[in-house]
Structure 1
């Protein structure tokens, strides 16, 4: 049996063991990092801090205190009410199920779309749309359905948005669709402005008589439904000419 020798010394306990331990750990970590810089290994060793800083720990506690379970509610909760997809404003006749629109007909319609901005004359668009429609022949009983089905394809941008925002089932005939379209993109305010410009017509400086008359005709075409007689039109045009032109 071995006995402790009499000359062995007792080690005094450390006054602050935790602080001393942390200090030694930091020294060891610095030594390891220094050795890795001088002798890099194939797989770098990750050294984590020994103690979590108190400021981050307090921040973590604040997050836990302010945690609201409602924040984790799924986007599509069970009790959520999902709105129904709105239906079309145009009611298509049942006869549409008995025929198919020709593919090249749809291509021509898509190539002449009205956006309400760059193309702003709804009357001209209706005229062009019907011109394309008349290029293809359908049975008389299909005419109404074909127009109602194809006209939305001729709209884009703001005009398409207007049609999509109409209440479901508000349009049942082509006349109703045409009237609603014209009323939206050719309101009374535009009509009054164009009519006022016609009544205030005057020949431009250095504008020939022919050019002045052509400009007058263009103004009349743009003001759809002006219902002005030929006599009134000639009178307005004559009074708008310059004194030099009137002498010829």
Structure 2
């Protein structure tokens, strides 16, 4: 016997002598005691059955809803209407957001219809003045303005507000920004800038009238983004030659030698004095005599 076959011979005694009988016995035991299903498989089967039941129930419910009339379906859609575009913020510390809008406040609020001849900046100023003067001490002023602002819009302007996407307005500043972007677009700002920079005093127009027209033009466009010295320069260049000389004489030499603050005060005082004595000392032009 060779050396390589010796380990195999040593382990022959480990094998079962009646191997076939042992195998048949194990098969009989397995047939008499079948293995129980695994818990995971049972849970998966239960989930599948529940999903199938839910799908069937949903289909039955959908069929039941489809049996409603058109009138009932149209009325049910009112419950799913889109929310208002305004989302009120948290009230400031020490203030409350629970209050009732008084009829006296709503009665004094200015109205804006969204027409081209209306001034949206003026509307915002008047609205803030009314709300600031009628806001209770314990109420958050920003929330009050957000709640009262829809009552100041009419017709086209009110339709614009309710067409905004939900969550567009979250503060009073965002409300003003959205309002001006709609009714005071960039094209209108550029047009007013050109009018300010190119303003001219008309023949026969008095100094006070020219000054008031200039102030109204600047006030109508708070977004002009022009410095004070630049506005004074446009006003000075637009004067008639005689009015410009008189203004320089009032400045004691030249208006450009004054600071912007002093120049603005000088112009305002000269316009006020001229307005107070406007028409004094002027004679009526003689009427020509006609012979019939």
TM-score normalised by L of structure 1:
0.61
| Bigger mean CA offset, 98-107 vs 207-216 | 98-107
Selected match of 1:164 from 156, 162, 165: 162
Say whether residues 1:208 and 2:202 are aligned partners.
no
Selected match of 1:87 from 79, 83, 95: 83
What's the CA shift for 1:180?
0.7
CA distance in 1, matches of 2:203, 2:219: 23
Say whether residues 1:176 and 2:170 are aligned partners.
no
- The count of aligned residue pairs is 173
2:223 equivalent in structure 1: 225
**Superposed, which structure 2 residues align to 1:1-248 within 5 Å?**
76=70, 82=77, 84-93=80-89, 98-109=98-109, 112-117=110-115, 120-139=118-137, 142-248=140-246
What's the CA shift for 1:191?
0.6
Residues 120, 185 of structure 1: 8 Å contact kept: no
CA distance in 1, matches of 2:102, 2:73: 46
CA distance in 1, matches of 2:69, 2:194: 56
| Bigger mean CA offset, 149-158 vs 166-175 | 166-175
What's the CA shift for 1:222?
0.9
CA distance in 2, matches of 1:78, 1:104: 40
RMSD: 2.8
Residues 97, 143 of structure 2: 8 Å contact kept: no
CA distance in 2, matches of 1:105, 1:145: 14
CA distance in 2, matches of 1:196, 1:231: 17
The structure that is helix-richer by fraction is 2
- What secondary structure does 1:212 align onto? helix
What's the CA shift for 1:86?
2.8
| Bigger mean CA offset, 232-241 vs 132-141 | 132-141
What's the CA shift for 1:94?
7.4
What's the CA shift for 1:141?
5.4
CA distance in 1, matches of 2:169, 2:112: 19
What's the CA shift for 1:166?
0.3
What's the CA shift for 1:247?
4.5
Unaligned stretches of 5+ in structure 2? 1-67, 247-292
